[in-house]
Amino acid sequence: MQRLTDGFTFKVGNGETSFWYDPWILKEKLCTVVPYVAIQDTSARIKDVWVDGKWNFNFLYTNLPDNVVNAITATHPRIVQNLPDVWTWSNSSSGIYFVKDAYNWLLNPAPLNDHVNWKWIWQLNLPANIQFFVWQLIHESIPVRAVLQHRRVCNTDVCPRCAGASENIDHCLFSCPDAARVWNLTGLVFNRNSSQGADTFTWYKNMGKIHGSLFFIALWVIWCGRNEIVFNNHREITHTSMGKIYSLLKYCEAAFMPPHSVATTPVNPRLVSWSPPMEGTVCLNVDGSLIGATSSAGYGGLIRDHNGVFISGFYGAANVRSILFVELMAVLHGLHICWDSGFRRVTCYSDSLQSINLIRDGVSAHHRFANEVFSIRQLLARDWEVAIKHTLREGNACADALAKMGALSDSSLVKISTPPSDLSMLLLADAQGIGFIRE
């Protein structure tokens, strides 16, 4: 039946059909091929855009993808009062629909569109509006200011968010500081310059293969954040964007997962989230880990700002296979790094109550780990504000992941300034926790 509807074309009569919300030119509603319809355009009818025998796209505030513009431009309707807009059977010499014509047409369908190369986009595990956004993006037709200016719809191409560069697609979605902050938090590592060798199409397709839905969802959320500024004059804070990315990702996983695997997914009724520090205070999460089979021990931790933005991290292997020892070592290394980095207000979270108590109360010189406890207490006595707090294990997932990396490493201390890719999802989850609590 789908094929049969392809045999029909839309014929403009009085032009009263909604430009955006009725199917006509592409047999899809045009509102589905743009991220959103500008408020000024919502009541536009075909006859508003077809003026004096010409398509007047300047009438519209919403930017149409080039291929849609081309498809519309190829049509030359003749507006006739009192004649409704209708669908007509386009494969009949008689001009009206006969079953025989439909049958003949079905046997020899003309290819409507070359969808073969684009199939992967429609197969992405993403909602249709994000798929369309990706499709538009690869056609380089999302309405950034450089594109609008080129089409003489806008008289400036200056980036509305940073005012520091021309807003082309690359700047808007990748290099604008607002966008860069989001990418930094996702932990995705990629090189935009490597796209210069490959074409845009291949580059995006590969990014999708490597990073999955997260990559496209992040692009979409960055784009929506940009539109919030342009249309609502509202700047979304980074952790709100991260919360949206994480929610969408969870939504897509749930929506596109085969039913049987949904049933086996364990449900965790209790949600414990990472606690953000106050502004001006950095958050240090630390953890120790013993890995049974190889009997190796490690510690790790990370420093984040009040937005959940990763500042630095560390991990290392311990030569003493004791959970208490590695928990203490995690605190010691973490605090040293904070001090050396110049942070003077620190909230340190550990999920080891035992080590927190030892640090708070002190130990005798005969304690097995007296050296470590003493060293930590000496550090704490310096001129800075440090609070050491207990967190549940669930709120300490990033540090736990780094501690496991530590246990598997062959170095006693590795400092990192960008999060390892394994941490992306956990950082996202923490940022989501913040957004959720504050909203």
Residue numbers at the binding site for Zn ion (CB under 5 A): 159, 161-162, 176
Q: How far is the CB of 188 from Zn ion (least distance, A)?
A: 19
Distance from C-alpha of 385 to C-alpha of 61, rounded to nearest angstrom: 53
Q: How far is the CB of 176 from Zn ion (least distance, A)?
A: 3
Q: How far is the CB of 184 from Zn ion (least distance, A)?
A: 15
Distance from C-alpha of 9 to C-alpha of 393, rounded to nearest angstrom: 61
CA pseudo-torsion sign 55, 60, 66, 72: negative
Q: How far is the CB of 299 from Zn ion (least distance, A)?
A: 40
Nearest to 334 by CA among 319, 321, 352: 352
Distance from C-alpha of 308 to C-alpha of 283, rounded to nearest angstrom: 8
Q: How far is the CB of 156 from Zn ion (least distance, A)?
A: 13
Name which of 164 and 362 has its Cβ closer to Zn ion: 164
Name which of 161 and 244 has its Cβ closer to Zn ion: 161
Q: How far is the CB of 151 from Zn ion (least distance, A)?
A: 20
| 3-class DSSP assignment, residue 301 | strand
Name which of 154 and 162 has its Cβ closer to Zn ion: 162
Q: How far is the CB of 238 from Zn ion (least distance, A)?
A: 14
Cross-strand partners of 298: 289, 317
Nearest to 22 by CA among 34, 10, 13: 10
Name which of 168 and 409 has its Cβ closer to Zn ion: 168
Helix axes 424-438, 397-408, angle to 10 degrees: 170
Name which of 176 and 348 has its Cβ closer to Zn ion: 176
Name which of 162 and 323 has its Cβ closer to Zn ion: 162
* Cα angle: 201, vertex 131, 267; to 5 degrees: 125
Name which of 8 and 174 has its Cβ closer to Zn ion: 174
Name which of 161 and 239 has its Cβ closer to Zn ion: 161
H or E element at residue 390: strand 385-390
Do 322 and 416 touch, CB atoms closer than 8 A?
no
**Where are the strands (E) in 77-162, listed by range?**
86-89
- Express the helix, strand and coil content of the chain in percent, nearest 5 each: 50, 15, 40
Structure tokens at 91: 């494969």
Distance from C-alpha of 151 to C-alpha of 146, rounded to nearest angstrom: 9
Q: How far is the CB of 130 from Zn ion (least distance, A)?
A: 22
